[in-house]
Structure 1
Amino acid sequence: MTEVRIAVPRKGRPLEAVLERLADATGSDGVAAVADQITSTLRYEKAVTKGTKHPDLDAYSRLADYSDLDDPAAPEFTLLRDDREGMPRRIVFDSVTVPTETGDVRLVGREEPFRALRTHEFGLGFDSADLVLEEVVSLAPEGVGDLADVNARIDPRDTDVRVLSGLGDTVYHTLMAKPEILPPGADVDREFVADYEGDLCISPRYERLVEAVLGTRAIEDVSFAYPENGEEEEAAIARTGLGVYLTVTGSTARDHGLVLGDHLFPSETVLMENRAETNGTADHIADLIAGAELDTAISV
């Protein structure tokens, strides 16, 4: 059978979402066991990185323990330099081959899967929808509200990559505000931002994403503000009055006295395709992984 290579993140929630989706799509206990092994290993290594776990073995010895060179189906891990002080090494996902009824799927870890697709290294890949907005979605007076809007905003002269579907591991970029800045009866929504003049607190790397999501017309009279060093985003938004931040339940925002407003855009893992690099087998694999039951499938 033909092997299809798919670029995936090396760690974190997006990789876990891909592994869960692939296990569900194949219905294989063996695939589910491998997915659990990868997830549990990386969660442990994350705890080591954060200093909540203190292993007896060094990173090289742990890497050797995780590896089984005699088993071609076993997942592989690798060491990368971390950006913490001293630049220690961190164990991350490297690759694994998963059998499916359509063909073997080779998941290959990349620091930036989306960019690996843009440079034609892969035909299929998974990454955060946020990166697509940050890098290739064109800015326009009106904002982007959901994944279905994304492909229409990608200039075909800029990239061959398109979003096929979301995996549903959704958290939202959400508007938050102090009640004191709201007129009586006002909602914290896009219309409120369009009429608002003042500071809007966001994470520093999200300027272009927020511009794409809200639209350039809505932020004409807005100035971006940012959390101070070490300050929680919700605390910074409470200090500023209005902001955008990722939220699932919103409990931390409420603890800071904030009112939750519109869910502006879903931050979820998306399946992407570089049409110039795929074939019929890759299309079947994409259909298998995306799943006909998903209601987040996107027309391209």
Structure 2
Amino acid sequence: MTTTRVAVPRKGRPLEAVLERLASRTGTAELADDIISTLRYEKAITKGNQRADDDVYHRLAEYSTLSDPRRPEYTLLRDDRDGMPRRVVFDSVTVPTDHGDVQLIGREEPFRALRTHEFALGFDSADLVLEEVVQLRDDPLTSIGEINDRIDPLDTDVRVVTGLGDTVYHTLLALPGVIDAQNRPLNREFVAEYEGELCISPRYERLVEAVLGTAALDGITFTYPDNGNEEEADIAATGIGVYLTVTGSTARDHDLELGERLFPSETVLLENASEGDDTTRRVADLFTAPEETALQSV
């Protein structure tokens, strides 16, 4: 049987979501847990929250099993933390399935690897798709299901197939005084009536424009958190902003109130239709939950 190569992130929540979904379909929970726990341990070392007896090269040699592709391989990357330490990240693993072997291959930017036709299938954050290719319109983009309609077919052959449900949200946050000034719910309509500064992460500027809708941004000036500051602290200093939230506890610590959840930050399965075939379409089905409907036929 053939081997289908799938591009995946090298670390973090999106990779964990892919491993967990594949494990639930192939009975490889032990393998997924091993990779996830290894990468979390290495992240803790990089952040200074964990100490290791061996240096990073010895740990890398211990983790990787080059002679057996069904055991995970890892590699080293420079982390962007102080001192730029070398960090162990995921490289590849091959998982047997009913549709042939599926080889997960780590990429720094899986979405871009699909755009350049290196892969037929891959996973990345929906955020990156919004930042890279969706068209900006007056009306807001509100769901994963609307993304494909905003992609210019002349720009890329890549489309979103489905989300994996590992969702946190880009959420409106504001101080009570700012909300009280309009005496209305903190939602997109609030922003449409608001004039002044709105604090966002600079890497999400295009995303925020897409999910608020360009018509709502008249009279608004974006500001950005200072390097090293908590985003919630700078949003509080501005009075209103957009940030990724899970529980909102840190926002509340800064007296911010949570408003509308604007858009899900979720790992999505992507397909380059021009590179796909019957095998890749069957492999894509492994990652679609029985109750889910793919955003397009793959």
**Hey, which bits of structure 1, 4+ residues long, moved more than 3 A?**
none
1:254 counterpart = 2:231: no
1:171 to 168, 171, 176: 168
State the TM-score, normalizing by the size of structure 1.
0.96
Question: Structure 1, residues 40-64: CA drift from partner, whole Å, max 9, x if none?
Answer: 1100100110011121111111011
Question: Structure 1, residues 10-45: CA drift from partner, whole Å, max 9, x if none?
Answer: 00000000000001122x1xx111111100110010
1:139 counterpart = 2:128: no
* Match of residue 9 from structure 1: 9
1:51 counterpart = 2:44: no
Aligned-residue identity in percent: 67
* Match of residue 121 from structure 1: 118
Matches within 5 A, 1:88-237: 88-182=85-179, 183=181, 185-237=183-235
Residue range with higher mean Cα deviation, 223-232 or 97-106: 223-232
- Confirm or deny: 8 A CA contact 1:25 1:291 kept in the other structure: no
Alpha-carbon offset, residue 88 of structure 1: 2.5
Alpha-carbon offset, residue 84 of structure 1: 2.9
* Match of residue 270 from structure 1: 268
Amino acid at match of 1:18: V
SS of the aligned residue for 1:252 comes to helix
1:72 to 69, 73, 85: 69
* Match of residue 25 from structure 1: 25
SS of the aligned residue for 1:99 comes to strand
Residue range with higher mean Cα deviation, 227-236 or 237-246: 227-236
Provide closer, same or farther for how the CA distance between residues 118 and 184 of structure 1 changes in structure 2, counting only shifts above 3 A: closer
How far, CA to CA, are the matches of 2:108 and 2:235 in structure 1?
30
- Confirm or deny: 8 A CA contact 2:122 2:270 kept in the other structure: yes
How far, CA to CA, are the matches of 1:118 and 1:291 in structure 2?
25
SS of the aligned residue for 1:157 comes to coil
How far, CA to CA, are the matches of 1:266 and 1:33 in structure 2?
29
Alpha-carbon offset, residue 238 of structure 1: 1.0
Question: Structure 1, residues 104-150: CA drift from partner, whole Å, max 9, x if none?
Answer: 10000000000000000000000000000000001111110001110
1:40 to 37, 40, 44: 37
SS of the aligned residue for 2:6 comes to strand
RMSD: 1.2
How far, CA to CA, are the matches of 1:153 and 1:53 in structure 2?
44
Residue range with higher mean Cα deviation, 126-135 or 220-229: 220-229
Alpha-carbon offset, residue 291 of structure 1: 2.2
Amino acid at match of 1:127: D
2:278 to 277, 280, 293: 280
Alpha-carbon offset, residue 281 of structure 1: 0.5
Alpha-carbon offset, residue 298 of structure 1: 1.6
Structure 2, gaps ≥5 residues long? none
SS of the aligned residue for 2:217 comes to coil
- Confirm or deny: 8 A CA contact 1:148 1:299 kept in the other structure: no
Alpha-carbon offset, residue 250 of structure 1: 1.0
How far, CA to CA, are the matches of 2:94 and 2:156 in structure 1?
28
1:240 to 230, 238, 241: 238
How far, CA to CA, are the matches of 1:96 and 1:165 in structure 2?
22
